[in-house]
Amino acid sequence: MPKAILTLNAGSSSIKFSLYELGSGVQRLISHGQIEGIGEAPRFLARAPDGAVLESYAWPHHAASHEEFLQRLLAWVTSHLGDEALVAVGHRVVHGGALFHRPVRIDQDVLGALEKLVPLAPLHQPHNLAAIKALSRLRPGLLQVACFDTAFHRDMPAVAERLPLPRLYTDAGMRRYGFHGISYEYLAGRLRVLAPTLAKGRVIMAHLGNGASLCAMWDGQSIDTTMSFTALDGLMMGTRCGSIDAGVVLYLQEAYGLDAAAVGHMLYHDCGLLGVSGVSNDMRALLESEDPRAREAIDLFVYRIVKEIGALTSALGGLDALVFSAGIGEHAASIRSEICDALTWLGVECDEVANDRHETLISSTRSAVRVLVVATDEEAMIAEHTAQLMRDISPPPTVNPSFA
């Protein structure tokens, strides 16, 4: 019977999952899906790799717990693959802090360390950990692996990591960590396959989804990135503000009497595309909207990306390739086109036909910088790490030389 790995990306309103057949090389996707509408009308949906619906279930009540959701998922895995098939679960964990540089097997000590990082990633970390805890209650012996969004950036140069704060704070671990690392690691691997020479050069990857960031890579290594101590920094996002004058935070407290929690809630949930447009945090909705504030929000989104690309190009000392990825990067041709137009000074020239067709290479033959669209797949990366960790902790039995 085939063995399987489950990957989980547990968020506030959904738990996304993928199921892979454990193999010796690349893991084969068996199914993917999600539990969506958590807190409102929760629904379980499992699909085959081609998108066909394999199972759908709606909970009769809105307040089902993480444990109930995951119980349903495990029951479905068992009914689909048999009792013994599931051998490990790989989790996306947003923050690994200074401690975790690579994927790790989860035990009580690891869980304790990850709990301490909740205040640094309040939008994601509590949900990531809730899924881990629920699973360890449901399947106490099951191997669980944490893969971190911060880990890919752990070898950034010291100067890119340092925050200009007094040593008291930086010595205590306040530094620029960076996020979206699972996606960037996957994209770096894809670029090595698609364009090996470019992958060795100076590349900016743009992960533009609800959360958005840029990563400057040299030879596939992160040398700087726009998110930093928390996932609030850098680009303007769906509901997050991105980089903002620290004085604004002080002023909101002093002039508006907001406490730290209220300011935090606003900066994470009410800013970005949603805050500026007053219409939506969703790029598709903004592109379709006739409200002039939607256009203002898009203009600001693009402007800040272009500005940060300029900064990261300086950090790299030039630019060989720009890679677009994630929901907006992969699907919003008009946003890619606006960004490329604003980078003409860098020698970027977009091939509009290729861009409208969402082809992999969207720069013209004259462009000094290659521009690519590459789909990210964080789940595949998590599955690969989980399989690798399984191999590391249980190496194949060695053959007794006398019988060889």
For residue 298, the minimal CB distance to ligand ADP (Å) is 10
Q: How far apart are CA 84 and CA 89, in angstroms?
A: 14
Contact window for ligand ADP (CB under 6 A) among 223-231, 278-286, 313-321, 367-375: 278-286
- Nearest to residue 93, comparing CAs of 134, 47, 128? 128
- Interaction mask 179-218, ligand ADP, x per CB under 6 A: ------------------------------xxx-------
107 noted as active-site residue:
no
For residue 332, the minimal CB distance to ligand ADP (Å) is 4
332 lies in the site for ligand ADP, by CB under 6 A: yes
284 lies in the site for ligand ADP, by CB under 6 A: yes
Three-state SS string over 108-131 comes to HHHHHHHHCCHHHCCCCHHHHHHH
For residue 392, the minimal CB distance to ligand ADP (Å) is 29
Quick one: which H or E segment has residue 137?
helix 125-138
| Residue whose CB is less far from ligand ADP, 152 or 175 | 152
Among positions 73, 145, 215, 326, the unique one binding ligand ADP when judged by CB under 6 A: 326
| Residue whose CB is less far from ligand ADP, 319 or 332 | 332
By Cβ distance, which residue is nearest to ligand ADP?
327
CB within 8 Å of 374: residues ≥ 6 apart: 187, 190, 191, 194, 323, 324, 325, 330, 360
- Nearest to residue 34, comparing CAs of 50, 53, 21? 53
Contact window for ligand ADP (CB under 6 A) among 77-85, 98-106, 193-201, 281-289: 281-289
Retrieve residue 139's tokens. Answer: 């399947």
For residue 393, the minimal CB distance to ligand ADP (Å) is 30
Order the strands of the 4-10 sheet from edge to edge. 53-58, 43-47, 28-36, 14-21, 4-10, 86-93, 143-148, 104-105
| Residue whose CB is less far from ligand ADP, 332 or 346 | 332
Q: Which residues pair with 218 in a beta bridge?
A: 202, 221
Order the strands of the 321-325 sheet from edge to edge. 221-225, 212-218, 202-208, 321-325, 370-373
327 lies in the site for ligand ADP, by CB under 6 A: yes
For residue 283, the minimal CB distance to ligand ADP (Å) is 4
236 lies in the site for ligand ADP, by CB under 6 A: no
For residue 287, the minimal CB distance to ligand ADP (Å) is 6
Quick one: which H or E segment has residue 243?
none
283 lies in the site for ligand ADP, by CB under 6 A: yes
343 lies in the site for ligand ADP, by CB under 6 A: no
Could you please report the per-residue DSSP string of 260-296?
HHHHHHHHHHS-HHHHHHSS-S-HHHHHH---HHHHH
| Residue whose CB is less far from ligand ADP, 287 or 300 | 287
Residue 284 CA to its chain's centroid (Å)? 20
The residue from 83, 107, 109, 149 that is catalytic is 149
Per DSSP, 151 falls in state G
15 lies in the site for ligand ADP, by CB under 6 A: no
Among positions 331, 341, 358, 364, the unique one binding ligand ADP when judged by CB under 6 A: 331
- Name which of residues 128 to 157 contact ligand ADP (CB under 6 A): none
295 lies in the site for ligand ADP, by CB under 6 A: no
Among positions 19, 271, 297, 328, the unique one binding ligand ADP when judged by CB under 6 A: 328
Contacts with ligand ADP by CB under 6 A: the residue count is 13
Q: How far apart are CA 367 and CA 377, in angstroms?
A: 27
357 lies in the site for ligand ADP, by CB under 6 A: no
CB within 8 Å of 155: residues ≥ 6 apart: 221, 222
Catalytic residues: 149
Summarize as ranges the residues that interact with ligand ADP (CB under 6 A): 209-211, 238, 282-284, 287, 326-328, 331-332
